[in-house]
Each structure stands twice: as structure tokens, then as C-alpha cells.
Structure 1
Amino acid sequence: MTVAIVQFGGSNCDRDAKRALSHLDIDAELVWHEDGLPTDVSGVMLPGGFSYGDYLRAGAIAANSPIVAEVREAAASGVPVLGVCNGAQIGCESGLTPGAFTTNRSARFQCEHVYLRVENADTPWTSAYEEGEVIEVPIAHGEGRFEITDEQYDELDTDDRVLFRYCDENGVVSDETNPNGSKGNVAGIIGDSETVAVMMPHPERATLPDIGGTDGEGVLYGFATP
């Protein structure tokens, strides 16, 4: 049983993801999108990067790759799926989760550390944290602004499907703590099933003590949660 890290042309966080999962003793392998998912797949990670150069829209071309149809089937059968950064864009574009990620409010690529408040600790991706806990992880994106209709946003909020919101170090959520203009300061959500999640920040870059801290480890433990 292994976590498949799907590589597209332009993926650049795939090896970071594999190293982070291996550091946590979670078996993972890189899977080229043309090769399809392994038969013994126990989880799927859609990593960050710039699949197909972000042409058309970030994640839009990759979302139509045949392997993503396999990912949707795996997700429907209960296989854990996590999309990070470009993977989150692919997740939304493919319908794994609602909403969309678009150009940052600043209209610039932003690479910095941010604080996230855990909104729902009762999911595989957040069970290692306490509700309201603040973690620090990096972002690196030009199209990270989460957008969704008001009605859909209210449904996400009511159904506790928001995983993380951008905040300050004390957990205060405000427009000033919103790095990209995301609706409701949303940084990560789950799909119809709690085993499917997307997030714009990079937990895999916050798993090694000497490189960015370990606050992101809890997210990746979602692949190890029965």
C-alpha cells in the first residue's frame, strides 16, 4: 500500500512531498500522470508546481488528464486525496472540491510564511491538531485566492468543511492576515467526503526541523489515518 504522488509536466513539489512523507514513515512513490494510479494505491497527493505552465487557468489542463478521472474514482471509494497549491487548483478544477483558486489580490507571486488557524480538527487531515490551534507553514503561489459563491461559502462554513483560515500568530482572522484575498480567509477545505482535501499552503515544506519547522506534519498524517 502506497501514497501516489502524481507528477505532471511542470510539477515541482513532487520530490518535496515524497521526502516529507518518507520522513514520516509513510510509503510514497512518484507516479507519472501517463502511467495511471498503482493498483495498490492507499492515498493520492496532487503536489504543487505549475502543471502545463498554468496555461488557460492554473490546474485546468491537468484536471482533464485521464489520471485525474482515476483519482476521482479512488476518492469516491474512500482513498484519501490531498491537493496542495497547484494540486489544490487541480482539485477544484476537477470537481473534487468546490470553488476555484485565482489570481492573488496583489497580482503578484507570493512566497512567505503564514499562520493558519485550525477550523475543524475532526478530519483525517487535522486530527493531529486542536480546534483553534495556530500553525505556521509557507505559501508560494501567484493564483492562491480562493473564490466561491456566497451560497456555497455558507454551505462550507455551516458544514464545517473549512479546514484552515489565514490568521495572525494569535489566531485572529482579519483582512490584514489574508495574504491573497481568499474569501473568508480560507486556506484549505474538504470535499463532500472528509478524506478529500485541498489547501494552498505547503505542509510538506514544514515537516523537517531544520527546514521550515514541523507544523505541517499533522496534515500529512492524514494519509496514515485509518
Structure 2
Amino acid sequence: MKKKLVVLTGAGISAESGIKTFRDSDGLWEGHNVMDVATLEGWHKNPGMVLDFYNQRRQQLKTVQPNAAHRILAELEADFEVQIITQNVDNLHEKAGSTRVLHLHGELLKVRSTQNEGYVLEWEEDLNFGDCDDMGHQLRPHIVWFGEQVPALDLAVQMTQEADYFAVIGTSLQVYPAASLIDFTAPEIPIFYIDPKPIQLAMGRKKIEIIAKIASEGTQIMSERLKLI
């Protein structure tokens, strides 16, 4: 039976594919204040701007491709049961070939009803005013905005608890509740933390290897390490 490798990924893994992050740019995401485009308050204040912002992100997604880090994680499925838990809303893990991907913060290529969270549709084109669910309620981006509940969190915790190996790639570990997942790992399992600017972690008895590299380089190093364990 294959060992379980659970991987938490963040914006840093997609940055190498050309998708900008807001972590190092004073809260700006593609030139917008995240509070204007990634909160329910921003949606109520200016829904037109929010729709336009995500329409642009959706179109941008069609122009980018997975990078080496995404591909290495997909290739690791040959030797491990790989479960990706991602904070990213892009589909680059899937495009690279990963078959088990849990999106904590939603997906750009889906929309949902403003009145029924369970009403979710695949959506690859622009979302406009007048695009409604079957009850006539406006559709919105299927994105978990700041301040909203993270529906997939309990499942992510369960996956983390069952991991034989755990990796953190390209996330600052400062966005909660996703950042708390590492606390649910079993104390004896190997943990890899890949980030060019890793923060200081106080992990007690946990075995953690910090790889201070960009995602593609660090993921290659992790892959080689895993083959030796």
C-alpha cells in the first residue's frame, strides 16, 4: 500500500506560472486592494468591480501553464498516495495531472448562488449581472472570501491527520485557518517546508526540514528526499 503524502500549497507555487500573489505587495492583488475584491463587504459595495476582477482572473488562467513544481507533485502519485490541499483558486494542479486536489478557498472556474452555497456550477467564461441560479438569485464567484467560513476545512484536517508525510509549499503559513493544518500532523512524521522566505516555526517534537527555495527547486529536492526515506 502506498504511503500518504499530503501537501498544502499556497500562492508561491503558482507564482512561477505567472499568477501574481499579494503576500509581498502590501495587500494588493493584481493592482486591487484585497479587501475590495475578496470580502463580502467589497461585493456588496461594488459587485460590478468584483465580477470584472474575477472575470479577468478567469481569462488570465487560460494563458498560464503548470510549472515544474506542479508536475513533480503529479508525478509523485506513481509512488505515493498524494493528496493536495491548496489555498489557490487556480486549476494548475489539475492541469499538471494531480488527481486528488482539495481547494480550501474555492475555484476560479466555478460560480455559486448568492443565496444557496450548495448551488455550484462549472463556469469558464465571464460572469455577469443577470446570470442567476434556477430560483433567480444572482451568481457569484465560488471563492471563499476573507471572513467567510472554509467549508472544506474539516476534510482537510482529517486528511492531514492521516498523512505519513506532510509538505508545505509556497505559503506563508500566515493565512488562517489553513495555516493551522500543520498542527494536526502526527508528531513522528517527516514534514517538508518549502518557501524562499520561510518563517520561524515552533513545532516542538515534529520533524521538519526547511527547504529555503522557490517551489520548483524545493519540490525537486523534496522528491529526491522522499525516494530515500
TM-score by length of 1: 0.36
Higher relative contact order (CA 8 A, sep 6+): 2
In our comparison, the structure showing a higher alpha carbon Rg is 2
